[in-house]
Amino acid sequence: MPHDQTRPRTHSDGARFLQESFADLVAEHGVPGASIAVLAGDQVITAAAGTTSLATGVEVDTETVFQIGSITKVWTTTLVMQLVDEGLLDLDRPVRDYLPELLIGDRAAGEVITTRQLLCHTAGFEGDIFTDTGRGEDAVERYVATLSDLPQLFAPGETFSYNNTGFVVLGRLVEVLRGQPYDQVLLDRIATPLGLASVSPSPYEAILRRAATGHMPGADGAPEAAPTWALARSNAPAGSMLAMTAGDLLGFVRMHLNRGAAPDGTQVLSVAAVEAMRERQVDLPLLSGMGDAWGLGWELFDTPQGTVVAHDGGTIGQAAFLRVVPEQGLAVALLTNGGEVFGLFNATVARLLDELGGVRLPDRPTPPAAPATVDVGRFLGRYADTIYDIEVTEDGTGGLVLDRIPKDVIAEIGEQPMRFSLVHLDGDSFITVEPVRGIHVVFAFIGEVDGKAKYVHYGRVVARAD
């Protein structure tokens, strides 16, 4: 196939592509506002388009701060690995050796869970606890004190289940071993030595800058301003409110690509820690849009051109994407505040990686043209966690219908019930017939209890409840 001459092939082509096309692509995908930054070697190019909020009409520029959501987890991991560098922490000792205050529902599991398991999402306890413990500096400490009834879904180390709760525990671990609140440690130990002036751990810093507001689908499906700016401060180490520019996010990445060194030569993280974070820790089941494996903090994608390290983030109506190709010194960060963000990701981030680095990200799964007919009886029933009730029924044609009802904080911030029509994909995995916000979602049914699937897994493990 002839090469598309309109696509960027060099750094200057990439800059031209963003200058000429980014605003049109943002509008085409119904994204209210977005900012993008590309790091190629020593050069950074940026672009921005749209509005910070449909309610105010303030334009996005390259100095606008967006929430980076769960990309914060890579920052938290960096803080943890600094403790390892200083000999203050052993990843493979039980967390309670350092944090005796940690008590969870399964006391036996709580005695053996390690920091490594928290970092790679294999601790096994319920991962979506968003208890609001106030706006004070003790919010993370108070949050951890609420976990005494935390359900254990599977044995520590058994499998992967994305876990926000575990990263709040890690944030508390950082606080205890540093003797300071999480926000202050993040500024002192990462943002300040790297010279990242826009890094805003809370709304109190973000309000001093041009800040993006999230947008969620309204009754007609069109984006409208979200009812609140951020999730609870208690979840800050997991990604509830950290905000910055796309350029400063790549300033953090540059440190990781520069073997842990700041621009002035200060060693923020050891070379050994940088490399350890990228090492494969756990393989993932077939899931839509998630990596092939997880390292320490980093999500890992296998490509013919090598491993791409990554992380995404989502908060209240904001979505962030980060892809890094360490061998090429190439990274792309895209920050958005609503709309069809996955379509914009494909049109910008995936395209730039391909054209600037020859790196083709794995295709997201799509429904087969002729789905196999399988016995679905063992998958039927009710599943539940703290934020969703899930009901799986037959559709009468060999497929499944999955109804997901939000509850607790997810319902409070305006998420609506969703119905998914599923067809068989592979093994015990099913995929949505129609795309959801630009991707086909995969639901994998794993484990067994009394002849039925024990869990439904869509990145998070949700246990059977009937």
Q: Identity (one letter) of the amino acid at 120?
A: C
CB atoms within 10 A of CB 434: 9
Q: Is 70 noted as a catalytic residue in this protein? A: yes
Helix axes 72-85, 164-178, angle to 10 degrees: 40
Looking up tokens 């190439």, which residue turns up? 330
Q: Are 332 and 308 in contact (CB under 8 A)?
A: no
- Judge whether 352 and 8 are in contact, CB under 8 Å: yes
With vertex at residue 82, the alpha carbon angle to CA 69 and CA 246, rounded to the nearest 5 degrees, is: 30
Q: Give Dmax (Cα) for the chain.
A: 64
Strand 243-244 versus strand 223-225 pairing type = unpaired
Torsion angle of the four alpha carbons 245, 248, 254, 256, in this order, in degrees rounded to the nearest 10: -90
The torsion region of residue 225 among left (phi > 0), alpha (psi -120 to 50) and beta comes to: beta
CB distance 294 to 160 below 8 Å = yes
* Cβ atoms of 190 and 79 closer than 8 Å: yes
> What is the CB-side half-sphere exposure of residue 310 using CA atoms within 13 A?
25
Q: Catalytic: which of 53, 70, 240, 429?
A: 70
Catalytic residues: 70
